[in-house]
Every structure is written in C-alpha cells, then in structure tokens.
Amino acid sequence: MENDFFSSFYLNKKHKQLICSDPKIAFIQYKDFQIDLLSGERKKNNLELFKEQIQKIQISQKFEKPIVLHLFYEFGFSCVELDELIDKNKPLAIYIEYGEATEEPIYRVEYKEKFTFEPLSLPSFDEYNQKFQKTYKSLIDGECYQLNLTMPFFLRSKNKISANEYINKLWSEPLNVGAYAHATYIDSLGKLFISNSPECLFQIESADDLRIKSMPIKGTIAVNNYSEREEAWSKLTESKKDEAELYMITDLMRNDLTKLSGEVSDVTHKKKALNVPGLIHQFSVVETKLNPETNVLDILTNLFPGGSITGAPKKNVMKLISEIERYDRGFYCGSTILLYQNSRTASINIRSAEVDFIQDEIKYGAGGGVTLLSQAREEYDEALAKLKSFLLLLN
C-alpha cells in the first residue's frame, strides 16, 4: 500500500483524472473538535467554528488551488436543525486544501487475476423488511411522503489492492464511470474514500454566470446488457411509482434552490435517462441564479443532504431515518465538493465505498426511495442491484 495523501476527480469530457496532491491544510471535523490529518494533533474547534470557516468561502471567488470538502451524511443534521442527533464521536467532514493539481491519464491495466470480494455482513431480506415495515407505517401515518431507506454492506477483498489500483480499475472504461466519480486516499487514516457517483448535488458552470443546477436521481431499473436498455427505459417511464418518486424529490429540490437564491427555480428537464453499468436511472435538472455573495455554507444549509437520499419532507425523514436505520451512513449519502478554477461541483455520494486498509474491510451502502406504492422485495432487490453495479466494475 502506497504511503500518500491525494484526491482524484474524474474528468469525463477528457477521460483523465485531476490529481490533487501536496496537502497544505487537512483535518477531519467532529462535533466538538478537529484532528489535523497532517500532524495528528487534536484541536478544540467545534462545528460552529467550522461552519464559520466555510461561510467565508464565496462561490464567486477564484480558486487557484484545489479545495476538497467531504461532507458525511451526518453533517446534514446541523443543516436541518437536528443537532441533537449528532454523535460527538463520529466524523462529520474532511476539509483539505491542496498545493498542487495536475491532469493525468487513467491507466488501463490488465491484472493477472480478477479482483474478488467476500461478504462480511450482508443484510438479509428479513432484516430489511423489518425496517421497510416501520418506514411504510410512517408513510401511512402521514409522517412523510417518501423516505430513502438504505443499508450497509461489509465486504473484504481477497486480493491485495492498492488505492491507485481501485481507481484505475473502476475508471478504466469511460462508459462505466459516473460523471461525478472521485476518490481520496489518506494514509494517516489508512482509508480510501471512493465514489463512482453519477449524481450531482450542485454544479455551477461559470463564476461569471453563477447559475446553479441540481440533478436528483430517483427511479431505477436493472438491465443485463445494453440491448435491453430501450425496453427497460420504456418500462421505467411507465412506472407510476418511480415517476412519483422523481417528481416529489424534484419539487423538493426546486423549493430548496428557490430558498437559496430568492428567485423561483426552473425545472429545465423533468425526466431524463441515465445509463450506468447494469442499471438505468431517471433524473431531472433544476436550475436557478445565485447572488455573487452566496457562500458555501449558504448552499449547504439549503441543499444538504440531497433530497434524493433523504426523502420528503427532509427534516422529518432525517429524524425517521435515524430511528429506523440505526447505523452511520458516513461518506455514503454525503457529498464531495471540489472548488478549483472553473470547477464548483458537489456530488451525492452514491455508488460509494469506504475502503479501510487497516481493518481490511470495505463498507458500501445502497438503498432506495420508499413510497406508498413500494414493495419490500422490489426495494431490497434494487439495493442488491446497486451493489452489483459497483462490484461489476472491479471484476
């Protein structure tokens, strides 16, 4: 395993990766303190001081050096006024300022043996169904309209795979790479945070225009090969359940963006197809114009966590998720922000994993939106299909 500290972002228009290296400032934020990832020093710097720090970052400013911000799902409790749910011993964010950034090729490497993985802990259908029934009761009781129910999968690699090998294997084929794929390896933690995410929390195309768009994904269907995609897409678009999921979250994101900008946001695409390995998703595009004074905290307070991985109404479902799921999502369902030159983007970390080289395990999360039209077995199978979609890229 290499001794290093870097972040990599997939550049889908070039089929290259942006490698951010030479970290100058790097820390992991908890509720009441930070740990410096370069020195190991623990500092008394609470969450409110951290939020003041990111409040100083205006989205219109120039970013000559990369800033990378990994927000864990649990940071979102502070964005929706549920601070009482924050565990003081669990990480909330990783903040990094890098000194260097270079564009580099993605190497296509032929390995002598396939990467194989063994399950350490896979939730059974019965375990999932118990949580599904609690979720469904919340829907029946009118506590929410949609709740994104997820579960963790723990795996172990039978091969010795380095951080760079994970990245090159996942991203070697352009058709298989998510538009917001990224990874960060931190040697002091012995962890690789890697995502093949196709989903955008927000993207700002230009510092001069400052139009912000969000592209929520809701609705999924599994496919075995590309010849099935046209028929599968037709089936997905005819599903009232999947359409209801998408439109509910699109409306949630439209309201969130309107609150952020103070102007009515536009749904520029109501339903589009998104092809990923083994799956087809449907997504929408919502846009609005930002004030140049808008800062990063403004955006996060209104948009984070993304509605597609919570449900609606957001505050209610986040409280319900905490009660029903009973595990820390962490990196999965959080967001990763890149601020560098013209890039002002944030993913939603689905198709994402935490690779712990010290504990020799991989944590992967998957799930989906539950509505009154949902069936437990179908939702469980969808989560398994999302796990398969990720592992297919490593075979």
Task: Give me the amino acid identity at 71.
Answer: L
This prediction has a pTM of 0.95
**Residue given tokens 């890098």 in the structure block:** 98
**Residue given tokens 């099935």 in the structure block:** 228
* Confidence (pLDDT) at 344: 94
Q: In whole angstroms, what is the distance from residue 150 CA to residue 328 CA?
A: 11
376-392 helix and 125-140 helix, angle to the nearest 10 degrees: 130
**Would strands 211-215 and 279-289 be described as parallel, antiparallel, or unpaired?**
antiparallel
- 347: phi then psi, degrees, rounded to nearest 5: -85, 170
Q: In whole angstroms, what is the distance from residue 79 CA to residue 315 CA?
A: 9
pLDDT digits (tens, 9 = 90+) for 342-373: 889 999 999 999 999 999 999 999 999 999 99
- Burial label, 226 (beta-carbon count in 10 A; 0-12, 13-18, 19+): exposed
Which of these, 109, 121, 181, 120, lies nearest to 349 by C-alpha position? 181
Sign of the torsion angle spanned by Cα atoms 75, 275, 373, 364: negative
Task: Give me the amino acid identity at 386.
Answer: K
Percent helix, strand, coil in the chain, to 5, is 30, 35, 35
SS3 at position 68: strand
* Confidence (pLDDT) at 236: 87
SS3 at position 184: strand
Pull the structure tokens for residue 332.
């999965």
Q: In whole angstroms, what is the distance from residue 258 CA to residue 50 CA?
A: 25
- Burial label, 312 (beta-carbon count in 10 A; 0-12, 13-18, 19+): buried
Q: Which domains does the chain have, with CATH numbers?
A: 5-392 (3.60.120.10)
Q: In whole angstroms, what is the distance from residue 16 CA to residue 273 CA?
A: 24
Q: In whole angstroms, what is the distance from residue 48 CA to residue 367 CA?
A: 31
CA end-to-end span of the chain: 20
pLDDT digits (tens, 9 = 90+) for 270-320: 999 888 777 888 999 999 999 999 999 999 999 999 999 999 999 999 999
- Count of beta carbons in the 10 Å neighbourhood of residue 324: 18
pLDDT digits (tens, 9 = 90+) for 161-190: 999 989 988 888 887 888 999 999 999 999
* Full pLDDT tens readout for the chain, 395 residues: 344 899 999 998 888 999 999 999 999 999 999 999 999 999 999 999 999 999 999 999 999 999 999 999 999 999 999 999 999 999 999 999 999 999 998 877 777 778 889 999 999 999 999 999 999 999 999 999 999 999 999 999 998 999 998 998 888 888 788 899 999 999 999 999 999 999 999 999 877 889 999 999 988 888 877 678 888 888 888 888 889 889 999 999 999 999 999 989 999 999 998 887 778 889 999 999 999 999 999 999 999 999 999 999 999 999 999 999 999 999 999 999 999 998 899 999 999 999 999 999 999 999 999 999 999 999 999 999 899 888 888 87
* Confidence (pLDDT) at 219: 84
E strand map for the chain:
5-11, 16-29, 34-36, 42-43, 67-71, 93-105, 117-121, 146-157, 182-186, 191-195, 200-204, 211-215, 217-222, 266-276, 279-289, 311-312, 335-340, 343-347, 352-356, 361-370
